Amino acid sequence: MKNSKVRLNKYIAACGYCSRRKADEYIEAGKVRVNGEIVSELGFMVSTKDKITIENKIIKPETLTYIRYYKPAGYITTMDDEKGRKTIYDILPEEVQNLKPVGRLDKDSTGLLILTNDGDFINDLAHPSIKVPKVYRVTAQGKLNLNDLEIMAKGIEIEKDKIAYADSRIIDFEGKNTVLEIVLYQGLNRQIRKMLDYIGHPVISLKRLSMGPIDLQGLKKGQFKYLKPKQIQQVKNYLKKLSKDNKK
């Protein structure tokens, strides 16, 4: 980040602290100080020469980093766990320990996670209004039929006032079980598992294959790869187009 002036919320997001939207909330709440003074103006301009703090924590620019990671089963997707369960940060190398995940996969699920310190990137990929498609390969107990798929497409109330939707297709039958490809545009907690439980076909295995244009190609379980600048720009262009299309 150069010494040219930028909006305070953009500076905070570029430092990897949070998204611009969240930065605005901190500013409006009077939690942001510039050179020791509380700033409540959303359009306030700053540079790298200024000292910015949020709740007394100094915010400094850092190199923005993006990785795709093949999460193995047995680990939860969080930085800390009060119950002492194993997290992905127990097996990720130190060089990427500062990166935050875009969404989560539960302990028993495997597949693609995107991690970054770019707050705006996280917000855009996960924001419900943009509706980034997430593709999963799921094996469920029993033999599903077209009626089951229609129920999932029309929506299931998995929690009070929370309706979950899924586009699904049957790929194969393995013995008494069904292999599905499921596409989600939401990010509700344990959404696929709750939907399949509801229709009486509990999940046996669940793997996320892709999020938007990013997939697992070339990755083995437990492995990560950095996204190249060209890939990052492709994703940002994709998100812009998706956001624009959804507003039509």
Active site residues: 106
57, 63, 69, 74: CA torsion to nearest 10: -20
| Residue 184: Cβ within 10 Å count | 23
Helix axis angle, 229-246 to 119-126, nearest 10°: 40
Main-chain dihedrals φ then ψ at residue 183, nearest 5 degrees: -115, 125
Spatial distance between the Cα atoms of 58 and 161, rounded to a whole number of angstroms: 40
Residue 71's alpha-carbon distances to 87, 104, 240, 248, in angstroms, are 10, 10, 27, 36
Q: Tell me if 148 sits within 8 A of 197, measured CB to CB.
A: no
Q: Tell me if 129 sits within 8 A of 179, measured CB to CB.
A: no
Q: List the structure tokens of 82.
A: 């009060």
Q: List the structure tokens of 42.
A: 């959303």
How long, in residues, is the chain?
248
Spatial distance between the Cα atoms of 206 and 190, rounded to a whole number of angstroms: 11
Q: List the structure tokens of 62.
A: 């850092």
Main-chain dihedrals φ then ψ at residue 238, nearest 5 degrees: -60, -45
